[in-house]
Structure 1
Amino acid sequence: MNLVAILVLAVGTYAFRLAGPLLRSRLARAQGDEAALPPRLTELLSTAATVLLVALIATTALTDGGRFAGIALPAGVLAGALLAWRKAPFVVVVVAAALVAAGLRALGVP
């Protein structure tokens, strides 16, 4: 069952990645030689991608198994986000976030 799910997800991911260039070329043929998307549509797609990324981050940072994750996990994510914003190296961001979350959990903070 797990192998089937992995294969279905792999095929679906490949199909999504392939759809972009195919749809762009189809749109270019429909509009003549101009392959550019309308500016408003480009802006909406950019905003939609940002909203989806923020929703994914919020869901991952605030929930664990469908329930609120407690304070330690969001605090670790916040520490990592602050370090990433300050342009710290990726390894430092990950280790600091893990240490904050683990430290709070070791102190008994849920």
Structure 2
Amino acid sequence: MSSGTQLLAATAVLGAGTYAFRLAGPVLRSRVTLPARAEHLLTVAVVVLLAALVATSALTQGHGFAGPARPAGVAVGALCAWRRAPFLVVVLAAAATTAVLRLLGAS
């Protein structure tokens, strides 16, 4: 079997597996019931995972602290989002804050 054929076969298998996993949710939803406590914990887990992702991305670069500019930009973006600013304003405010602080030497 050539390398191209193997790549094509692997792509097809992975695509079929992904489709099967995505189809399993709606198909099994009516058959599997979770206790209310478990559903609540899963909902909380999603929020915790997203908060951890934001914190890791905002505070670290490589294996160390990212410096004060990036967390300040994220904080400004979060404040704009909390105040329900348009998405473009949120992104531009966060980027501008980070850029100005880095320009001033806050890395």
- Which category describes the TM-score, using the shorter chain as reference length? 0.7 to 0.9
Query: Structure 1 residue 50 and structure 2 residue 47: aligned?
Result: yes
**Scaled by the length of structure 2, what TM-score is found?**
0.75
Counterparts of residues 22-37 of structure 1 (less than 5 Å): 22-27=27-32, 36-37=33-34
Query: Structure 1 residue 40 and structure 2 residue 33: aligned?
Result: no
Q: What secondary structure is seen at the aligned counterpart in 2 of 1:58?
A: helix
**Aligned equivalents of 2:66, 2:73: Cα separation in 1:** 11
Partner of 2:92: 95
The structure whose Rg is larger is 2
Render the CA deviation track for 1:53-100: whole Å, top value 9, x for unaligned.
000000000011222100000000000000000000000000000000
The alignment-based identity, stated in percent, is: 62
Partner of 1:21: 26
Query: Structure 1 residue 85 and structure 2 residue 90: aligned?
Result: no
The alpha carbon displacement at 1:37 in A equals: 3.0
Q: What secondary structure is seen at the aligned counterpart in 2 of 1:109?
A: coil
RMSD: 2.4
Partner of 2:72: 75
Unaligned runs of 5+ in 2: 1-6
Aligned length: 95
The alpha carbon displacement at 1:17 in A equals: 4.0
**Scaled by the length of structure 1, what TM-score is found?**
0.73
Unaligned runs of 5+ in 1: 28-35
